[in-house]
Amino acid sequence: MKLKVRLSILFAVVFAGITLLLNAYVYISYADFRREEFFQRLRIKAVNTLHLLEDLQEIDPEKLRAIGQNTLNPLYEEKIYIFDNQHQLVYSSIDSNHAVSYSERLLHQIEEKQYIEYIDAENQHEQIGIKTKYKGHDYVILASAYDNVGRRKLQNLIYSLLIASFVGIVIGAVTGYIFMQRAFKPIEVLSYNIKSITERNLQQLVPVNPSQNDEITELAYSFNQMLQRLDAAFDSRKAFVRHASHELRTPIARMMSDAEQALNKNLTEQEYKAVLQVLVKDLDQISELINSLLLLSRTAKLERVDGLKPERIDDILFETIDKAIGVRPNLKVSVEFLPQDLENSDLFALSCDKSLISTVFMNMLENAAKYAPDQKVNVYLDEDDEMIYAYFVNGGKTLSPEEQGYLFTPFFRAANSASQVGHGLGLSICNRIARYYGGYVQYSISAEKENQFLVTFSKKIEGKNYYTEI
């Protein structure tokens, strides 16, 4: 069931409920008013009859009964009984041929409470009992009547309210549905425009009316922004595939060419060894590229891992330096600690995956070894209450502002890397790992015109779900 239909039904149900509650209130209020008004009329009629009986004692009761029935606005099925203080019947509004039924218990109850009123459950007659005193005499009056006119009005009110409720509910339901149709029309248009957008035309944006400042317009703006991000992600993914294919195709093509030449020629053993050495070198390059791609894929979506034990960043750094020197014996690394309180065991503690932090440091050290003429890198460690900072400073040609803008883009290689073997993935991997730990990698040119990379990690974040497009 569509949302607009559900909301229309909900609106109709709520409107019907409110209408019925209001009508019920009107009916109950009128029913109470009718009952109270009729009891008042009956009370006045009973008291006036007593006064007339006392003031005209010389008149025969039969004549008084006739006067009461013809001149005092008789009520439907009216019955009035007047008793003296001895409970002797002194007046009855019906003739003496009709038996008068009452109980002593009822008369005593009236004398005790002074006034009672109730509705007979059998015949629905309103009945009252009054204890009163007039001209020095005590009297008990019983009166009953049937509110024929009032009950007919009440019944007519029920019919009128039911008809009005039905008509009102129908009108409300139709009006609500029409209103929902108009309210959801922009959403239907937006849905139609969204369905027309596929992966082939992500540049096609949803039309937006700037003059309308409502939630639908905000949704359309948000959707267009998402389309732009998706389009950029698709372009980035295509560029990634294109660069990866190029990086793989070059060594593979070179290997195929060397292998074909070796097969087509009669080479000596030394020449075959030379060809195999070239093939091994190309295979190493492919293996390095595949490992980098796997690591890049791993860091594309890192899941939060709880319960990691704290690791000291300086210990990881020294272990990584030993590995880097083992690979590049000419690498020279100096480490300097900027904080003064080096006795604190929690100074550089970070809850982290040790292998990820080591990967960052290894990439930084290898970059310095590649691009620094003297293969020397200075490392500075610093920290504060929230962050850990690692500075990697090395000589060599610095980057231009244009190159700095693409520094963390996969497969980007600056002009100073033309003579170096690599694929341009290291800094992108480092930046993703640093961002996973609430930090970043930043490049700058130091005051001494040297390359300076700042790597930061947050002490407050143990790791969070992080995703970035390749």
pLDDT at 375 over 50: yes
173-193 average pLDDT score: 84
Given a contact cutoff of 8 angstroms between Cβ atoms, the answer to whether 311 and 349 are in contact is yes
Architecture per CATH, domain 3-152, reads as 2-Layer Sandwich (3.30)
Question: What does the pLDDT read at residue 142?
Answer: 92
Which amino acid, 281? K
Query: CATH for 215-299?
Result: 1.10.287.130
Rounded CA-CA distance 300/116 in Å is 87
Question: What does the pLDDT read at residue 469?
Answer: 39
Mean pLDDT score of the chain:
80
Q: Tens of pLDDT along 338-361?
A: 876 666 657 788 888 888 888 889
Query: Range with the lowest mean pLDDT among 108-117, 274-283, 448-457?
Result: 274-283
Question: What does the pLDDT read at residue 226?
Answer: 84
pLDDT at 13 over 70: yes
Question: What does the pLDDT read at residue 114?
Answer: 92
Residue scoring higher pLDDT (242 or 407): 407
Question: What does the pLDDT read at residue 317?
Answer: 92
Given a contact cutoff of 8 angstroms between Cβ atoms, the answer to whether 251 and 209 are in contact is no
Residue scoring higher pLDDT (73 or 187): 187
Select 303-467's CATH number: 3.30.565.10, 3.10.620.30, 3.50.30.30, 1.10.630.10: 3.30.565.10
Q: Which residue intervals of the chain bear CATH 3.30.565.10?
A: 303-467
Q: Which residue intervals of the chain bear CATH 1.10.287.130?
A: 215-299
pLDDT at 131 over 70: yes
Q: Which residue intervals of the chain bear CATH 3.30.450?
A: 3-152
Q: Tens of pLDDT along 201-242?
A: 777 777 887 777 777 888 888 888 888 877 777 776 776 666
What is the percentage of the chain residues whose pLDDT exceeds 90? Answer: 20
Q: What is the pTM of this model?
A: 0.49
Place 297 in a pLDDT band, splitting at 50, 70 and 90. Answer: low
Given a contact cutoff of 8 angstroms between Cβ atoms, the answer to whether 438 and 352 are in contact is no
